[in-house]
């Protein structure tokens, strides 16, 4: 299949999750991605491997569809190799902090002036500008700074972060979207390359709904509300008779009428305390108590059957074991089985989004460290075996 990004070359000069997964996403849709790693250690996401520089489970997935080369970027000779490679590439992806970028000659002004057709994605903790630009950040810190952590959790308990690296993966998809947009502008609108400046906290902040609007208009500060939402009632999680938990959303008038009918209390919707949105918000504790009592008398399977039959959006809270066993994930292709040389048969998240004519593919799994050195340095730069061996001997690669 001729994938939509076939012919696009990406040099991945990044580590951990957000920026590397942006590059992986481009690779899922056909881009040729060359991943630059430190010799001996490799990317941080190889951690958990059986030996230094080995392949961890997360590496197998998050570095799929890539070729690995090694360059010790602390050495000027290695940085010069990067500059020799860049004319052969369409996209540069990096997440070094701005001071490191400047010290190594990979800062945005230098890259922009030397490679005018290059699309350069910079994913940094706080962006390339602003008073905090030189600070570092990881998913947890970016989530805190974005405001997402503050509003997550129960009202009477300290805030909690997401159970996954949500900010990192949001940043990955925002970065990939930025790259594709910039490539379209370059190749189909007569533009040039450009710099994409993505701060890690920004996708999390963009997900803050109307929190900033409300604060700027009224001074209202959004606070934690646990598993409920003051603006949408009823919409919450409830315990079943068999110890499971299900999420139900009946926050529109038609859905609420169907839920009341399903619970055998059709008159509930007409009661003044529940008849309007504002009334339900004011009396949500009473409404949730009624729903909780109904759900508590049913098993998860029974509750889900009734809710689905009534066309009320609901789902069990799914563990990863539930997901692996669920037929929808398998039949839709959200999960794909792969065969890995180190780990055997694995289940993996499929490329998203799903394109009808040119869907993404898992063509290869996270590569062995430096396994592409000879091919990339030889084919693109014309280096001989002797030259590559010399670079390896002096620690450049």
Active site residues: 168
Sign for the pseudo-dihedral over CA of 230, 233, 235, 239: positive
| Angstrom distances, CA of residue 243 to CA of 48, 134, 289, 298, 304 | 33, 48, 17, 10, 14
| Angstrom distances, CA of residue 369 to CA of 52, 71, 95, 373 | 10, 11, 20, 9
Phi first, then psi, for residue 141 (nearest 5°) are -70, -40
Contacts for 362 with CB less than 8 Å, ≥ 6 apart: 28, 64, 65, 336, 338, 348, 350, 351
Residue 91: Cβ within 10 Å count: 27
- In angstroms, how far is the first alpha carbon of the chain from the final one? 34
Phi first, then psi, for residue 50 (nearest 5°) are -70, -25
Residue 35 · residue 67 · CB < 8 Å: yes
Phi first, then psi, for residue 289 (nearest 5°) are -65, -40
User: Reduced to 3 states, what is the DSSP secondary structure of residue 231?
Assistant: coil
């Amino acid at each position: 299949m001729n994938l939509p990004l076939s012919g696009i070359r990406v040099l991945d000069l990044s580590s951990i999750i957000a920026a590397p997964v942006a590059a992986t996403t481009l690779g899922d849709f056909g881009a040729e991605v060359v991943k630059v790693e430190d010799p001996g250690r490799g990317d941080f996401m190889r951690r958990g491997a059986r030996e230094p520089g080995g392949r961890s489970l997360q590496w197998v997935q998050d570095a799929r569809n890539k070729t690995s080369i090694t360059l010790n970027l602390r050495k000027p000779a290695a940085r010069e190799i990067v500059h020799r490679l860049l004319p052969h590439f369409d996209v540069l992806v990096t997440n070094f902090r701005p001071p490191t970028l400047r010290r190594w000659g990979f800062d945005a002004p230098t890259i922009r002036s030397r490679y005018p057709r290059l699309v350069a994605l910079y994913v940094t903790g706080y962006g390339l500008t602003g008073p905090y630009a030189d600070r570092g950040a990881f998913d947890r810190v970016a989530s805190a700074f974005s405001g997402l952590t503050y509003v997550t959790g129960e009202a009477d308990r300290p805030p909690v972060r997401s159970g996954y690296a949500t900010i990192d993966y949001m940043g990955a998809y925002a970065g990939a979207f930025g790259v594709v947009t910039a490539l379209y502008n370059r190749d189909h609108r007569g533009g040039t390359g450009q710099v994409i400046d993505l701060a890690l906290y920004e996708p999390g902040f963009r997900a803050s709904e109307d929190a900033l609007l409300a604060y700027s208009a009224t001074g209202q500060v959004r606070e934690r509300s646990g598993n409920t939402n003051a603006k949408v009632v009823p919409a919450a999680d409830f315990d079943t008779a068999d110890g499971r938990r299900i999420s139900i959303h009946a926050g529109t008038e038609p859905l609420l009428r169907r839920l009341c009918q399903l619970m055998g209390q059709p008159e509930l919707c007409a009661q003044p305390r529940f008849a309007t949105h504002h009334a339900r918000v004011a009396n949500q504790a009473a409404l949730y108590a009624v729903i909780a009592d109904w759900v508590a008398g049913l098993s998860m399977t029974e509750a889900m059957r009734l809710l689905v039959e009534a066309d009320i959006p609901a789902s069990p809270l799914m563990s990863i074991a539930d997901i692996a066993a669920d037929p929808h994930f398998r039949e839709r292709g959200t999960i794909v089985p792969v065969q890995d040389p180190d780990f055997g048969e694995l289940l993996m998240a499929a490329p998203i989004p799903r394109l009808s004519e040119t869907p993404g593919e898992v063509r290869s799994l996270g590569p062995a460290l430096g396994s592409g050195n000879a091919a990339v340095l030889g084919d693109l730069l014309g280096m001989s075996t002797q030259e590559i061996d010399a670079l390896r001997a002096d620690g450049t690669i």
